[in-house]
Structure 1
Amino acid sequence: MNGPKILFEIPLMGGIAVTETVINSWLVMIILTLLAYLGTRRMERVPRGAQVVVEGYVGGVYSLVEQTMGKDKLGFAPYIGTLFAFSLFSSLLSLFGLRPPTADLNTTVGWALITFALVQVSGVRSKGLKGYLKGFLEPLPMLLPLNIISELANPVSLSFRHFGNIAGGMVITMLLYGFLGWLSSVVFGSFLPIFNDIPILQVGLPAVLSIYFDLFTSILQAFIFCMLTMVFVAMAMD
């Protein structure tokens, strides 16, 4: 599997490469914006249609944030809800034959760095700079180097976990398609040469595996990323 293709370049500062990741990320943002607009353009006291889905999602996010972080941290719910939706829809693009932005390490590293900055800022605002720095000396001052390494390792683990699972699923799916195409030509190609160009064995099994790699894994990784974000922020503030 190669990296994202460069689709075109913007002739600024020596050429800014615009890859599949950038285009597909904008596609996801447009989709989410349209869904938000369609779900809220006709708000009614008694919700129905798309409003039910939107209110159910928003209520679920606020409930999850309250249970995980505490009622005093509900202000983080919009960020968590946006992060989950962006991650989920980005990964689900693979169901439509598009390269998911989450299969690009640049995407997940960017999200992890935003979360890392959020953790540090939230910790300082909650405890004050002195109290926040003092936390690195607990429970023993000699653990200062380990505490620093542990803090710096959080964005690394966040980004590589999400990227590795989505990219790994893509690799396995591509290898499976290639193998089934080769097997189809070996089994059926000797009887009818047309099957060398029509890989009949690629029908069925890859679709079933796609439910796991593209659907289940997408939901799971988006949920894990958001849960870890909430845990890290809550720990920094408490």
Structure 2
Amino acid sequence: MNLTYKLNNILFLDIETVPQEESWEQLSKEMQGLFEKKTQYQRKEEFTAEQFYDRAGIWAEFGKIICISVGYFVDVDTKKQLRVTSFFGDDEHKLLTEFKVLLDKHFAKKDNILCAHNGKEFDFPFIARRMIIHKIDLPKKLNLFGKKPWEVPHIDTLELWKFGDFKHYTSLKLLTSILGIPSPKDDIDGSEVAAVYYKEKNLQRIVAYCEKDTIAVAQILLRFNNEDLIEDKDIVSV
């Protein structure tokens, strides 16, 4: 694709989300009614709102973020190194604040860009909406008000792969497979995150999964630019 972005200016990321409450019964009657209306089109006549609640994590109004994993390239001895870290926990306000500090301190320059797979449709707006709900001022890279499309500092690997075919969708797992990138989906997938969080209470397993997705997004961008994939030994947790 001959992308002109400088890799060191890009922050790769992925988020994991779950329903705000573990079960339908824990929602207030008002929220149950609002969820029923919100999901009416998706459910049609196939599911009741209660049966559909396990998918509530995909909506910022009914879900919450439990992990944001990020990765960024640095040059070490003339070689690229991908450094990966995560913000995670039960306290969503805390992890969102920590993520905002990272953006404000290290990725607020004009040339800095955020990159995710399906990020423009999911990750970026989800983070922004949850920040507003928590009364956290939006960092510059998520505040898109008044920006023209070409001024938005976001790269979406799904959008790049579409090549203008906006009806086309390709999952991260499929894209990594056809591009010869090690699959990030070797343990759990998105549909299992809520159960791992609420039933198993294994947040570290989710963090590992989220970090693999972040690494995969970085690898995809390398492949799009016809560059060599980064080796495991050059991926460093910080």
TM-score scaled by length of structure 1: 0.25
User: As a proportion of its length, which structure holds more strand?
Assistant: 2
- Larger helix proportion of the pair: 1
Greater relative contact order (Cα 8 A, min sep 6): structure 1 or 2?
2
**Which has the greater radius of gyration?**
1
TM-score, normalised to structure 2's length? 0.25
